[in-house]
Structure 1
Amino acid sequence: MAECITRSATDPPSPDDLRDAYELELRSPNGNPVRLGELICEKGDNITTIIVFIRHFFCVYDQDYVRTISHHLTDSLLKSLPSTSSTGPSQLIIIGCGDPALITPYVSETSTPFPVYSDPRGRIYEKLHMTRTMSNVMKQPSYSTVGFWRALGKTFRQMAASGWRGLRGGGWGQNGGEWVFKGGKCVYVHRMKDVGDHLTAGELLEVLGCGAGDDTAKEEMREEVERRLD
């Protein structure tokens, strides 16, 4: 198992950009507004929050990704990760960029137990400087079970089954990434460089292990990573 992953090369947001992003609103599955900062800062100072920003709701690569992290990073696992006196349990939240009415079908498609919200105007994605590119769209990511042509066919079938909302899944070129917050502060940033550049479940667990405390706690984390990924 590799050593603990260090901070990504992508730059963290400026304090002003992060503060502005916290004030921007997401939409819940029923369309109700909720501030990003409410999800991150108002759950307790010792809570670690992992936010996975996904691509459009019909991206089959990302649907496979959400299935993978939902299988490996279970809620019970996140709540039982080694912690210190200043680092409590972890929560994982998924944020998309399409019509919030598509959240419920997305949850059904991916069987994810994690809460899903949407930024339909992409304002948070923009404020946090996430990339827009279709680079490597034909390259199958390691976490996907299908290649490009099968994924594209499945995407079009899902869009057709969604009626007019099939055109409101989110920008096809919008990429996301993985962000970790502790005590309301951003401590880790990974912005996707291309269509298939999410962190794997194992990499996410190792990122969380960077703050696990002493060597014993970190060794427990590595053992947990290996056990979950066997």
Structure 2
Amino acid sequence: MAARERSVSPVGASRFERPIKPPLNGVRRVFGTGTTSSKASSPTSTTSASAHTHGGHSRTASTSLRSSEAMTSSTSPSTTSSFPANTASHFTDRERETATMMTHSPACSPPSSPSLDADEWLSRFRSDPDLPLTATDECPDRATLAAVYDLPIYASDGSARPFGSLYDPAYALHPRQLVLFVRHFYCGACQAYLAALARGITKDDYFAIPIPTSIIVIGCGQPDLIKHYKKFTACPFPIFADPSRLLFKKLGMVLSANLSRVRPEYMKDISAPAWLAGQVTTIRKSLADPEGIRKRDVWRGGNPMQIGGEFLFEDGEVVWCHRMRGYRGHAEVRVLRGLLGLEEA
């Protein structure tokens, strides 16, 4: 699609334009009702797998991965002595094997032999199948979005705003919002992802997006660490924090020990040992910097097992989403470019 010139940037609040204006205190619109409310309704189950399209992209909800794993585990015989009887059926054979190894075996060490590939060694922690990133996961429905509307997200100065103000058409700067949920603020994989995204979607690309779109990053660490995270990543997009991780949980993003077997494109030049060692190096350099983090901040970057995902909102609804299945599981930059209309995915 040919790019067209606009006087309005699709970036949302970033270093290129003014901050996002927060909504009026205590007033919001409940989608589909036309009324106002100061409380969100309780969450319900996510949308059914009905197919619909928007802007040329499929909204078909994929079959729930969690449901398929539960069906597999309920029909596969295995030893469950390490788990309570009422929870054993919820684990797949591979998950039981991994959990048993982690709880009953001595700590695992990386391979010392240079002939062993580190990515192959990390594959033992992998428990989820590879799914195509161009297909959407099951999107949150309106009830779920209503339940997370009033959950606070925090800017680097500690000021809070409701999450719903990002995507509510009454307050949003643009018709669409691409919200990226990253892992803890010291995760080298997520830092590499944001760096690749900044290279893959340049300032000129912002103005070439057919439908103006805000791009927003949300992490799970403490808000005052955002300024350091910006320095780590040189990220041009606005960054917020959800230290409670309630947003992550309610939108279906989970805790995981899956290190991911396949190296993604955004880390093609970063080996697994370099990635893991780089996180330690980043922390040490920042500690040595007079304007860097302090020792107590090492434990304030967020839960190291929390994984994130990407959500594309349009007119107040999620039209596409991808939840990470491992530590290196973000949707590729080329996929996001395709979703935004910059090129085919």
- Shorter-chain TM-score range: 0.7 to 0.9
1:112 partnered with 2:239: no
Residue 141 of structure 2 aligns with which residue?
Answer: 14
RMSD: 2.0
1:183 equivalenced with 2:306 (yes/no): no
**Aligned counterparts of 1:105 and 1:112: Cα–Cα separation in 2:** 11
Percent of aligned positions that are identical = 27
The answer to whether the Cα contact below 8 Å between 1:181 and 1:188 also exists between their aligned partners in 2 is yes
Gaps of 5+ in 2: 1-55, 60-134, 288-292
Structure 2 partner of 1:208: 340
Q: Match of 1:79?
A: 207
What per-residue deviation string (whole Å, max 9, x for no partner) do you get for residues 158-215 of structure 1? 3342321111111111111110011111111111111111111110111223xxxxxx
Flag the structure with higher helix content: 1
Structure of greater Rg: 2
Residue 58 of structure 1: how far off its partner (Å): 0.5
Take 1:169 and 1:24, find their aligned partners in 2: how far apart are those partners? Answer: 20
Answer 1 or 2: higher relative contact order, Cα 8 Å, separation at least 6: 1
SS of corresponding position for 1:26: strand
1:51 to 1:75, Cα distance in 2 relative to 1, 3 A: farther
1:167 to 274, 281, 299: 299
How does the TM-score come out when normalised to structure 2? 0.55
Q: Could you report, residue by residue, the CA deviation over 1:15-58 in whole angstroms, capped at 9, with x for unpaired residues? A: 222111121000101111011111222125x5210011111111
Does structure 1 conserve the Cα–Cα contact (< 8 Å) formed by 2:260 and 2:329? no
Distance 1:111 1:55 in 2: 16
Is the aligned partner of 1:129 residue 2:261?
Answer: no
Q: Which runs of 4+ in 1 moved over 4 A?
A: none
Partner Cα distance (2:280, 2:182) in 1: 18
Residue identity in the other structure for 2:165: E
Moved more, 13-22 or 48-57: 13-22
| TM-score (ref. length: structure 1) | 0.81
C-alpha separation between the residues in 2 aligned to 1:193 and 1:104?
27
Which deviations, in whole Å up to 9, do the C-alpha atoms of 1:122-163 show, x marking residues without a partner? Answer: 010011011221213565432123222222222123334232
Query: In structure 1, what residue type is equivalent to 2:273?
Result: W
Q: Distance in 2 between matches of 1:125 and 1:154?
A: 25
- 1:101 corresponds to which residue? 224
2:282 equivalent among 146, 158, 177:
158
Residue 172 of structure 2 is aligned with which of 24, 40, 43? 43
Contact kept, 8 Å, 1:47 with 1:89, in 2: the verdict is yes
What secondary structure sits across from 1:23 in the alignment? coil
Q: 1:62 to 1:73 in 2, by over 3 A?
A: same
Q: Does 1:89 align with 2:230?
A: no
Residue 273 of structure 2 corresponds to which residue in structure 1? 149
Confirm or deny: 8 A CA contact 1:158 1:166 kept in the other structure. Answer: no
How far apart in 1 are the matches of 2:204 and 2:242? 27
Specify the code of the residue in structure 2 equivalent to 1:68.
A
Cα separation, partners in 2 of 1:26 and 1:131, compared to 1, 3 Å: same
- Aligned pairs, number: 204
* Aligned residue number for residue 324 of structure 2: 192
The equivalent of 1:56 in structure 2 is 184
One-letter identity of the residue aligned with 1:166: V
Matched-pair contact (CA < 8 Å) for 1:30–1:101: yes
